[in-house]
C-alpha cells in the first residue's frame, strides 16, 4: 500500500504478457486508438490531444510544461510539497522567471490568491499539483481552473496522484493535465499519460520547444494518426503497456468513473477515521485530505524504520516520508486503483500492531472498528 506502483488487476498484468504486437500492425493501431479515446473520457476532456508516451510521471511533467513556454517565460509553480517543488527544478532549465507560491505545510493553495497573482498579468504558465504525494494535500482544481478559462495563461495540472481516483475534469478550465500509468490508472510503471487542451495546442503550434523526445508537435502527428486506427512512427511506443492501459481503462469505465471515485472516497474515509481513532495527526489540514493517499505523523517515540518493517511483517507495505525536514517523522498509505475494503482492514490492522509493537499505547481493534463502521454504512 505505497502510493504507486500500486497492486494491479490480474487482467491488466496478463494483457502485458501477450506477445508484443508490431507497433505498425492493424491490431495495435486499433488498441492504441481505443486507449487514447478512453484516456479522454477518464480525463473528462471533450476536446484536445491525448497522449500515452513511454516514460514515467516526470516525463509527463516535462512534456506538459516544456511545450508551453518560451525561453525565460514567466511561470508560477503552486507547490504543496516535494512534487510541486520538482517543477521549480524543471523550469530552472528553461527559464530565469520562475516564481513559487507555497502555502503553509498541510494547507491547500488559495484559488483567490492564485487568481490575484495571475490576473495582474505576465504569467505564461501556472502549474498546480492536484494531490501532492509527499504531503497528501489535495488542491481544489475546480475552483482554481475556473479563473483560467478567460486568461491566456496556461494551467497545467499534475494529476499523477489523482486522475482515475479523484474527481477531475479538463472541462473545469484545465489546459494540460497528465498522470503516470503506475498510480490510479492501474497499469505498471512506464507510461506518461496526458491530455492537452485547445488553448495549449494553439501555443505549441506557434512555439517550438527546447526539447526533442518531448516535442508534442512531432507526437501530435503520430497520435492523431493512431487516433484514426492507423500507425505512424516517431519513437517506438511501449506496446505492451499500451495494451495493458487499454484493458485497465476498459475496467475503469466498466466500474464507472463516478462509482470509482466514490469507492476511493469511502476507502479514504475509512482509513482516516481509523487513523484519527488511533490518535495520529495528519499532515493535511481538515478539508485538504486526498482520497488516494493518507499522510500522517508517527507518534514521537516510534522510529519510522522499525514501524515500517514491523508493518510489512504484519501484512502491509507503507511508504516513508519525502519532505526533507520531516521525512522520518511520518508515513504514507497509498489507497488508489484496485483498493478494496479487505486491503483497508489489513492495512489498519498492521498499523495498530506495528504501533503497539513499538511501544505506542493502542487498544487493538479501535481503528479497525472505526473503519468497519464507515465500510458497513456504505455497504462495502
CB-nearer residue toward ligand PMP: 153 or 181: 181
Min separation Cβ 183 and ligand PMP, Å? 7
Nearer to ligand PMP, 57 or 367 (CB): 57
Q: Is residue 161 part of the contact set for ligand PMP (CB under 6 A)?
A: yes
For CA atoms 352, 353, 354, 359, give the dihedral sign: positive
Which residues lie closer than 8 Å to 142 by C-beta, 6 or more apart?
167, 169, 172
Q: Residue 162, class by beta-carbon neighbours within 10 Å (0-12 exposed, 13-18 middle, 19+ buried)?
A: buried
Is residue 57 involved in binding ligand PMP (CB under 6 A)? yes
In the complex with ligand PMP, which residue's Cβ is closer, 153 or 292? 292
Our CB check for ligand PMP shows the closer of 161 and 308 to be: 161
Stretch in the footprint of ligand PMP (CB under 6 A) among 26-34, 38-46, 88-96, 158-166: 158-166
Residue 5 interacts with ligand PMP (CB under 6 A): yes or no: no
Name the closest residue to ligand PMP (Cβ): 57
185 and 39 in contact (C-beta within 8 Å)? Answer: no
CA distances, 95 to each of 65, 158, 190, 270 (Å): 12, 19, 28, 44
The nearer residue to ligand PMP, 181 or 341, going by C-beta atoms, is 181
- Binding of residue 129 to ligand PMP (CB under 6 A): yes
Q: Any idea of the CA torsion for 8, 10, 11, 16, to the nearest 10 degrees? A: 70
Instruction: Give the one residue of 66, 180, 266, 354 binding ligand PMP; rule: CB under 6 A.
Output: 180
For residues 303 and 310, the answer to whether their CB atoms sit within 8 Å is no
Q: How many residues are present in the chain?
A: 380
What nine digits make up the cell of 249?
481503462
In the bound complex, what is the minimum distance in angstroms from residue 329's beta carbon to ligand PMP?
19
Residues that bind ligand PMP (CB under 6 A): 4, 56-58, 61, 83, 129, 132-133, 158, 160-161, 180
Amino acid at each position: 500500500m505505497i502510493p504507486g506502483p500500486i497492486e494491479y488487476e490480474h487482467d491488466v498484468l496478463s494483457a502485458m504478457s501477450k506477445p508484443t504486437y508490431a507497433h505498425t500492425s492493424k491490431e495495435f493501431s486499433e488498441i492504441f486508438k481505443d486507449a487514447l479515446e478512453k484516456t479522454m473520457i477518464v480525463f473528462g476532456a471533450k476536446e484536445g490531444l491525448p497522449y500515452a508516451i513511454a516514460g514515467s510521471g516526470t516525463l509527463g511533467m516535462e512534456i506538459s510544461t516544456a511545450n508551453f513556454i518560451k525561453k525565460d517565460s514567466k511561470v508560477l509553480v503552486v507547490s504543496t510539497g516535494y512534487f510541486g517543488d520538482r517543477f521549480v527544478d524543471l523550469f530552472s532549465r528553461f527559464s530565469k522567471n520562475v516564481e513559487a507560491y507555497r502555502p503553509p505545510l498541510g494547507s491547500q493553495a488559495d484559488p483567490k490568491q492564485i487568481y490575484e497573482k495571475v490576473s495582474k498579468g505576465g504569467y505564461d504558465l501556472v502549474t498546480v499539483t492536484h494531490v501532492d504525494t509527499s504531503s497528501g494535500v489535495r488542491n481544489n482544481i475546480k475552483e482554481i481552473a475556473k479563473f483560467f478559462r478567460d486568461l491566456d495563461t496556461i494551467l497545467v495540472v499534475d494529476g499523477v496522484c489523482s486522475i482515475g481516483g479523484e474527481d477531475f475534469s479538463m472541462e473545469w478550465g484545465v489546459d494540460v493535465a497528465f498522470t503516470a500509468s503506475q498510480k490510479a490508472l492501474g497499469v505498471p510503471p512506464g507510461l506518461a499519460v496526458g491530455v492537452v487542451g485547445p488553448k495549449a495546442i494553439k501555443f505549441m503550434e506557434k512555439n517550438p520547444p527546447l526539447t526533442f523526445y518531448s516535442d508534442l508537435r512531432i507526437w501530435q502527428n503520430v497520435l492523431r494518426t493512431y487516433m484514426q486506427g492507423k500507425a505512424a512512427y516517431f519513437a517506438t511506443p511501449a506496446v505492451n503497456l499500451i495494451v495493458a492501459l487499454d484493458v485497465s481503462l476498459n475496467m475503469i469505465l466498466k466500474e464507472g468513473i463516478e462509482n470509482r471515485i466514490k469507492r476511493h472516497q469511502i476507502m479514504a474515509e475509512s482509513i482516516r477515521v481509523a487513523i484519527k481513532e488511533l490518535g495520529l495527526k495528519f499532515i493535511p489540514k481538515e478539508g485538504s485530505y486526498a482520497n488516494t493517499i493518507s499522510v500522517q505523523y508517527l507518534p514521537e517515540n516510534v522510529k519510522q524504520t522499525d514501524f515500517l518493517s514491523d508493518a510489512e511483517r504484519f501484512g502491509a507495505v507503507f511508504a516513508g516520508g519525502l519532505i526533507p525536514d520531516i521525512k522520518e517523522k511520518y508515513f504514507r498509505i497509498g489507497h488508489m486503483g484496485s483498493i478494496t475494503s479487505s486491503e483497508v482492514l489489513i492495512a489498519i490492522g498492521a498499523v495498530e500492531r506495528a504501533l503497539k509493537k513499538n511501544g505506542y499505547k493502542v487498544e487493538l481493534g479501535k481503528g479497525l472498528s472505526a473503519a468497519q463502521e464507515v465500510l458497513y454504512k456504505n455497504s462495502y
